[in-house]
Amino acid sequence: MLRFGYHTNGFAYHSLDDALDVIAECGYDGVAIAVGRHHLNPERTAPAEKARLRDKLRELHLHAVIETGTSYALDSWNRHDPSLISPLGRERRIEHTMLAIDTAAGIGADTVTVLSGRLSAGTPADEAFEWLVDGCKLLCEYAEMHGIQLALEPFPGMYIERLNQFDLLYDAVNHGSFRMTLDLGTVHCVERYAIASILHRFGARIATVHIGDVKGSVPEHLPVGQGELPLEEILQMFEEFGFDGMISVETENHSHTAPVVAQQSIRILRDFAPRQMAIVDVREGAPLEF
């Protein structure tokens, strides 16, 4: 059966402990923890606190992944800077991500997600690509030592924002611990490919999934059921594929109604989720169909 989680960037006004309690009570299988200044700061969280959180997650029966795309985590003025492709400060992002990997290992999570960052004015694209490949390789090697997988999320406005760009990066990084975080709202807005084609092409590379509803071409992470995503079709495809990662609800602009949105979202997802599983072949590398 599919596993559903909730992204804590939709619980910005709750403490992490309170958010976990609500998420578990709603009936989710897991949680995507957005680490930063407010929730589980990887640069300040002591080993004892990680162990306590690991125990709490076990008690609540919540699987966890770590999300490092938290806004303003490293720079109070620039949302995602420094990034893995910043002319200055790349080392700071790598250090922060390594600490996030340490945190993931400490709490029992198995995945750390990252963003590529935005291309700075004056930075040649080929040079940025080299920086990104080198950074991802270094992080993958570190993640592998801790039993963690690194998952990069293609996202609009980022240097890596489309699936074909991720494909090039995946081949260049060429590491067993490197995978993808797939945002279903982004796919609906900016990609031309059907979900079935995406799963056939990239399914074995997808570590975790974000789901937030959308209207039109803006990936704004609306509450599930309030947009245009064909939920039943999407969940059926993931079920038939045999996807065993976590599908996390992401509604970062709705923290003011977090408990209500979380409760409504899981009810809708459970209603649409198929009851039986029919596994289809994983055709790694199969061509995408328009």
| pLDDT score for 49 | 97
Span 230-242, average pLDDT: 93
DSSP the chain: --EEEEEGGG-TTS-HHHHHHHHHHHT-SEEEEE-SSSS--TTT--HHHHHHHHHHHHHHT-EEEEE---TTSS-SSSTT-S-TT-SS-HHHHHHHHHHHHHHHHHHT--EEEE---PPPTT--HHHHHHHHHHHHHHHHHHHHHTT-EEEE---TTSSS-SHHHHHHHHHHH--TTEEEEEEHHHHHHH--S-HHHHHHHHGGGEEEEEE-EEETTEEEEEPTTSSS--HHHHHHHHHHHT--SEEEE--TT-GGGHHHHHHHHHHHHHHHS-SS-------TTPPP--
Span 253-272, average pLDDT: 96
| pLDDT score for 278 | 35
Span 218-231, average pLDDT: 89
**For the chain, what is the mean pLDDT?**
92
| pLDDT score for 137 | 98
| pLDDT score for 193 | 80
| pLDDT score for 217 | 78
| pLDDT score for 75 | 92
Banded pLDDT at 275 (limits 50, 70, 90): low
pTM beyond 0.95: no
| pLDDT score for 290 | 26
Span 18-33, average pLDDT: 98
CB-side exposure of 143: number of CA atoms within 13 Å?
Answer: 28
Span 21-36, average pLDDT: 97
Span 221-229, average pLDDT: 91
| pLDDT score for 123 | 96
| pLDDT score for 195 | 86
**Complete domains list, the chain, with CATH:** 3-272 (3.20.20.150)
Residues 192-226 as b/e (b if ≥16 CB within 10 A, e otherwise) read ebebbbbbbbbbeebbbbbbbbbeeeebebbbbeb
Banded pLDDT at 282 (limits 50, 70, 90): very low
Span 150-165, average pLDDT: 95
Query: pLDDT > 70: what percent of the chain?
Result: 94
- Read off the pLDDT of residues 89-134 as tens digits, 9 standing for 90 and up: 999 999 999 999 999 999 999 999 999 999 999 999 999 999 999 9
Span 168-176, average pLDDT: 98
